[in-house]
Amino acid sequence: MTASATELRDLARTFAHEGAELARTMRREGIEVADTKTSAVDVVTEADRAVEALIRSRITALRPEDAILGEEGDDRAGTSGVRWVVDPIDGTVNYLYGLPDCAVSIAAEVDGEVVAGAVVTIPTGTEYAAALGHGATRDDRPIAVRPSPPLAERLVLTGFGYQRVVREHQADCVARLLPEVRDIRRMGSCSLDLCHVAEGSGDGYVEAGPQPWDWSAGGLVLREAGGRFALLDGTFTVGADQVRNVVVGAPADGWDTFVGALGAAGFLA
């Protein structure tokens, strides 16, 4: 079943708004931790599961031949060449505590390339969306990255993993980066952080270890807003595995300087 990038984007927008509405309703009714994943602080709520189930059912009903990769459910194989990448609640801890930076993030890949995405904030319904080659929007209005100032004047967004050993490494890197930049913010949602850089509310983003459901939609929004986005090799190992997916995003004009600073701080190999 073929579809254009803009058609897939509009479906992602619809699905993400429906998921965000369900999450808002469940938050009003009261939410508790349902389970944990990589550690005791890496939580899952019943809303995470319910929102993903809703989105999976909507995709399957409209596009039964598509594949689905979701954070909370099993992978679903497909035959169309389209795969949906779903984070039902990006920023679950924020959602649990009633903090604003949490969102439903949905991207669509065609033959492995992200071509469409939408990120919808749960408390307000603010929408970021993009289709490959068609630009990025916030609530239907075009957005663009801000010109990069000197490194010392850049506001950098970041995040932390949930395993103790990973956090210790990330904290060391952030401590080395902080004196070189204007300031660092940790707000708790990878997808929204990338969208903030896309709209000019930040000058760069770095985090070691996020998964495709965290960055697929936000990464496209950033690229379509005039930024650069990449998964770069890290310097850190967890057991026998090297943390290779260091997620980096920044305006294109400030990319080289930012990546150089990340290397000096220890984020990158």
Q: What is the CATH number of the domain that holds 258?
A: 3.40.190.80
Question: Final residue of a domain: which of 79, 111, 142?
Answer: 142
Q: Six-digit token pair at 176? A: 């080395």
Which residues span the domain enclosing 207?
151-265
Which CATH number covers residue 12? 3.30.540.10
Over residues 200-218, mean pLDDT: 95
Same domain, 9 and 130: yes
pLDDT at 140 over 50: yes
The pLDDT of residue 42: 47
Region 18-29: what's the mean pLDDT? 93
Same domain, 15 and 113: yes
Residues 112, 203, single domain; the answer is no
- C-alpha 38/C-alpha 81 separation (Å) is 31
Q: Return d(Cα 23, Cα 267) in angstroms, integer.
A: 34
Weakest-pLDDT range from 37-46, 64-73, 158-167:
37-46
Same domain, 54 and 122: yes
Choose one of 142, 175, 205: the last residue of a domain: 142
Looking at the structure of the chain, the number of domains it has is 2
The reply to whether 178 and 64 lie within a common domain is: no
- Residue 5 in tokens: 């990038």
Q: Both 60 and 134 in a single domain?
A: yes
pLDDT at position 187 is 96
Domain end residue (candidates: 94, 119, 142) = 142
Residue-wise pLDDT for 98-125, tens only, equals: 999 999 999 999 999 999 999 999 999 9
Distances (CA, A) of 244 to 7, 17, 212, 230: 33, 32, 13, 11
pTM: 0.93
Q: Each residue of 31-65: pLDDT tens digit?
A: 776 554 444 444 578 889 899 999 999 999 999 99
